[in-house]
């Protein structure tokens, strides 16, 4: 091999570099190399971003700039506040690419509008977020990724959207709402996390009612939520005459109970209910369609 030939990857069995596309990536060259085992896509993202962050100078001391390479996105987030995880990435893949006008209820740093706009050049997205600090992050992320012409971020509580958004104006309403009721689960000492994780100004029923009011007849509502509240979700949907049509459970691995689920609801239209194959984000093998939102195409 000549000195100009590319160096062979030190660990050909490693699945990590299908993500970073670097055959001498920092992670694979660590002394405690992870390459002895195959990594799930979720682990690849988390470990890559952990190293990748160290190679970026923060815009401010309390922020980080992270990279979501599959969608060519730079995401500025609070270092210690609420940070997006794999849930919105999975939800965007679940929602598909068919909708042209999309509304995201509870946008946080803008991750769902950013991904949905990257998935299709024809899409326009409105994101709604009530925390002023997260609105600022979302707007900065939209501008930094040159998507201001197709994404609008509105600072508002979902309970105050009447009169601000056109009723039945969206093909798809998508949401990753707070999973916990105010008195349930652990609380976090880090600012902003509890507001994102626990219902504060709006309940699950409020999110569903707002979604139904704003989605077009025949349009879809896609949500990701906690399995403990699946029965409550179905009951609220039936009460609002939103028809559940697709359900997918998400596990850490297949030996563990589901940790979240994704559901699609239709407004004013019925269809046979379909339960999709489950996803296990920590398993080394996962269907191509299930992986598509989380890996780089070769």
> What global pTM score does this model have?
0.72
Q: Is 166 part of any domain?
A: yes
Distance between CA 214 and CA 221 in Å, rounded? 10
CATH number of the domain encompassing residue 202: 3.40.50.150
> Would the pLDDT of 100 be above 50?
yes
42 with 89, same domain?
no
Domain that holds residue 160: 85-294
31 with 178, same domain?
no
157 with 36, same domain?
no
Confidence band (pLDDT; 50, 70, 90) for 129? very high
Classify 282 as helix, strand or coil.
coil
Handedness of CA 41, 44, 45, 46 (dihedral sign): positive
What does the block give as tokens for 241? 């005459």
41 with 144, same domain?
no
Q: What is the pLDDT of residue 55?
A: 47
154 with 28, same domain?
no
Write out pLDDT tens, residues 232-277: 999 999 999 999 999 999 988 888 899 899 999 999 988 899 999 9
What single-letter DSSP state applies at residue 81? S
Q: Is 69 part of any domain?
A: no
163 with 46, same domain?
no
179 with 40, same domain?
no
93 with 28, same domain?
no
Q: Is 30 part of any domain?
A: yes
> Would the pLDDT of 19 be above 50?
no
Q: What is the pLDDT of residue 106?
A: 93
Q: Is 287 part of any domain?
A: yes
Q: Is 66 part of any domain?
A: no
Of 156, 71, 82, give the one whose Cα is nearest residue 112: 71
Q: Is 222 part of any domain?
A: yes
36 with 154, same domain?
no
Q: Is 216 part of any domain?
A: yes
Q: Is 1 part of any domain?
A: no
Spacing of C-alpha 95 from chain mean position: 11
37 with 158, same domain?
no
Handedness of CA 193, 182, 91, 133 (dihedral sign): negative
Write out pLDDT tens, residues 53-67: 554 444 567 788 888
26 with 98, same domain?
no
Distance between CA 158 and CA 221 in Å, rounded? 15
160 with 284, same domain?
yes
Top mean-pLDDT range of 11-15, 30-34, 95-99, 241-245: 241-245
Confidence band (pLDDT; 50, 70, 90) for 81? confident
Number of domains within the chain: 2
Secondary structure E strands in the chain: 63-68, 73-78, 101-105, 124-129, 151-155, 170-175, 215-225, 242-251, 258-267, 274-275, 279-280
């Amino acid at each position: 091999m000549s000195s100009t030939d590319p160096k062979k990857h030190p660990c050909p069995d490693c699945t990590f570099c299908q993500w970073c596309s670097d055959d001498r990536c920092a992670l694979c060259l660590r002394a405690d190399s992870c390459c002895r085992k195959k990594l799930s896509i979720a682990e690849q993202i988390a470990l890559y971003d952990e190293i990748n962050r160290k190679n970026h100078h923060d815009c401010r001391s309390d922020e980080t700039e992270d990279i979501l390479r599959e969608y060519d996105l730079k995401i500025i987030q609070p270092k210690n506040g609420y940070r997006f995880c794999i849930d919105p990435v999975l939800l965007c893949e679940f929602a598909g690419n068919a909708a042209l006008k999309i509304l995201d209820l509870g946008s946080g740093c803008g991750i769902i509008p950013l991904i949905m706009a990257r998935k299709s050049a024809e899409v326009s997205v409105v994101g709604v977020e009530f925390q002023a600090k997260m609105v600022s992050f979302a707007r900065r992320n939209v501008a930094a990724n040159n998507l201001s012409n197709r994404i609008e971020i509105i600072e508002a509580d979902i309970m105050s959207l009447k009169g601000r958004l056109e009723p039945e104006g969206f093909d798809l309403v998508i949401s990753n709402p707070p999973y916990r009721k105010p008195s349930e689960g652990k609380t976090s000492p880090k600012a902003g996390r509890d507001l994102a994780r626990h219902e504060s100004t709006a309940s699950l029923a409020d999110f569903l009612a707002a979604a139904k009011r704003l989605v077009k007849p025949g349009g879809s509502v896609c949500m990701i939520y906690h399995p403990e509240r699946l029965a409550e979700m179905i009951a609220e949907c039936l009460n609002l005459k939103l028809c559940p049509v697709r359900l997918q459970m998400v596990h850490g691995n297949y030996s563990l109970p589901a940790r979240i689920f994704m559901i699609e609801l239709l407004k004013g239209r019925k269809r046979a209910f379909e339960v999709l194959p489950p996803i296990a984000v920590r398993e080394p093998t996962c269907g191509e369609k299930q992986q598509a939102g989380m890996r780089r195409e070769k």
